[in-house]
Structure 1
């Protein structure tokens, strides 16, 4: 059976409290980068604003942004730092339409009530049964490969193991990735594995640590900086496999956001945190499915800038987010943000990737 997207059910604005609700109040920005008093900060849910008697859905919803009414009548979400003098910001801190602002969390809700109020193991933990989650994800990714925009958020653990690194490379090469968000470490250790067979000095297959292997990632970074780009490094060192190689050869964009911990870093790593955020947001705005693997900080950052819904072919649809980590605490950090569609799996990301490859990529 093919994957079926849930239908979005919009509120009935032909009834109360919507009919008698006032228009949303608007204040014009007077200082660049400064929101007005009583500004409205958006949630992750779809939000409607009453403008000239009509309820308008914000173009997207994203935490910590403010709604700005544009001259074309659309409502855009803007970060504080991007506010400009003259911008028309909607103000108000109620959510029930009483100030012309309505937050709607039930658009994709299921009517299924066939479950007990009390049940054992209702949370998500290492004891959870994930078989159905995997089956749903296989169907979702097959659908999204040609109909959506799949974004991977990757920690370095995905390339520390020989099989998982090969599995992820195969998934990328077979169309199951449209963008990659990561840091310096993931790309560095993937390229280190391609050149030296190690990741952070340890062999990715047999776990041995050859003499002076702790130099390998530094040597790799140095070679990349000498080459001037990852593309030239692949050519110069005749690298023909791995995650970075698969991404570059299949024109899958990678945003590598810098960290104060970085060695080197590699040439494409973005040192300016706000520039990195802007580049990441270009892809989270397009995302229909996001898969976050073994990287708590990148996962939380991505989750915070990702709308809970998006428009695709004129239709409103959910954005699916998967968070996979061996630590329960790490996956629950993203789940706690209240996203409509976060599915958490407490498991080894190396095993997770091999499962996906074995079920999605033909031998």
Structure 2
């Protein structure tokens, strides 16, 4: 913090924060950010809400020794909801080349964001982190746009002026139906209570009050959990599925051969020439043309992918450099896969990530902060990586896949069908 005795030239600006800034720890974050970046602050007005649901308000004068450092501070604390008292309209620059932003573009977070135009605050649509904001002056609409999707002539928001962020506070996330969200990783908490709350969220979504995205890795099949996830799909608890080549391949391998990676799902032992099963599975589907065609021709008659086809559940199988085959339904162009995933996450209210580190991080980057997210993995590093990437709304449940899904299905009514 700057000492009052110093004689460095001081540049300053008044900012304000409003909402649940005390219990969500937004105010301490802002104050710490100011001082850690070499600035100073002076409180001008403080109003603290009396009850938990009452909003609070703080007005600060932020100062720094240079205009450059002040800009850095204001940009940083703006991500926590601190906005200038003196409002400005956004500044726009037309993109001069394809697939690139103008220099100095505004980089988005996954928090609800608004931009100011003609003295009006306009919400930004398709909120996503690590994007820019494309603004249409004629329609007066704003949306997040990925760098690879920028078109020449797009009006891109430049700088921080005219933007404001509304961080999702504790009151929005820690409702009764998501009360276990008071720590990032849950390894010692009562699992049954946590799963019960997840089941309640899924019931609400299945009844029409939301939309559920499941992101799953091949461990769902390897651990013998395939029928549990299939049950969730049949009963309407999955509205979108994201996975990779491996989940679909080993799911269909089990349907064809009763194995996963050549290991018998009944005995747990290896099978003769089992190491070839996944390749023969991929080859058979490729010869048929696609997974839907395999279902239509009654070659594929059970499993996760079968249930998705039968119940018209949209899915994205995103490829990777290590894929065998891959299956013809796998999207091998990562940018095309991202675009399709961006389309399907719109309207999602709850995301369940099961045993897949890379896919979980990728999807976490696409989700806005108000989407409740649960990451289930035997490795606590997975959810830690999600938090490090900024997906703070993700809660980790450290457990094996099969016990989690079994208890979840039991909480949702068992497997009677």
The bucket for the TM-score relative to the shorter chain is 0.7 to 0.9
Q: How does 1:154-303 map to 2 (within 5 A)?
A: 154-162=216-224, 164-236=225-297, 238-303=299-364
Cα root mean square deviation, aligned: 2.4
Residues 235 and 107 (structure 1), Cα distance of their counterparts in 2 relative to 1, 3 Å cut: same
1:84 and 2:151 aligned = yes
State the SS of the aligned residue for 2:215. strand
Deviations 1:72-95 (A, max 9, x none): 1111101112112221111114xx
Q: TM-score, normalised by structure 2?
A: 0.74
Partner of 2:125: 59
Residues 197 and 111 (structure 1), Cα distance of their counterparts in 2 relative to 1, 3 Å cut: closer
Partner of 2:400: 348
Q: 1:323 aligns with which of 361, 375, 383?
A: 375
Which of structures 1 and 2 has the larger relative contact order (alpha carbons within 8 angstroms, sep 6+)?
1
Residues 342 and 111 (structure 1), Cα distance of their counterparts in 2 relative to 1, 3 Å cut: closer
Distance 2:83 2:132 in 1: 23
Distance 2:323 2:299 in 1: 25
Residues 129 and 33 (structure 1), Cα distance of their counterparts in 2 relative to 1, 3 Å cut: same
**C-alpha contact (below 8 Å) 2:290/2:329 kept by paired residues:** yes
* Structure 1 spans left out of the alignment, 5+ residues: 1-7, 94-98, 113-120, 309-317
State the SS of the aligned residue for 1:127. coil
**C-alpha contact (below 8 Å) 1:46/1:60 kept by paired residues:** no
* Structure 2 spans left out of the alignment, 5+ residues: 1-52, 58-81, 175-181
Distance 1:9 1:46 in 2: 20
Q: TM-score, normalised by structure 1?
A: 0.85
Shift of 1:161: 3.0
Q: How does 1:63-74 map to 2 (within 5 A)?
A: 63-70=129-136, 71-74=138-141
State the SS of the aligned residue for 2:171. coil
Partner of 1:3: none
Partner of 2:95: 29
Shift of 1:51: 1.1
Q: What is the aligned residue count?
A: 330
Distance 2:83 2:247 in 1: 50
1:137 and 2:198 aligned = yes
Deviations 1:4-36 (A, max 9, x none): xxxx99999xxx966631112111222222211
Distance 2:262 2:283 in 1: 15
**C-alpha contact (below 8 Å) 1:155/1:295 kept by paired residues:** yes
Distance 1:203 1:281 in 2: 37
Residues 159 and 43 (structure 1), Cα distance of their counterparts in 2 relative to 1, 3 Å cut: same
Partner of 1:50: 116
Structure index of larger Rg: 2
**C-alpha contact (below 8 Å) 1:170/1:361 kept by paired residues:** no
**C-alpha contact (below 8 Å) 1:285/1:307 kept by paired residues:** no
Distance 1:67 1:44 in 2: 12
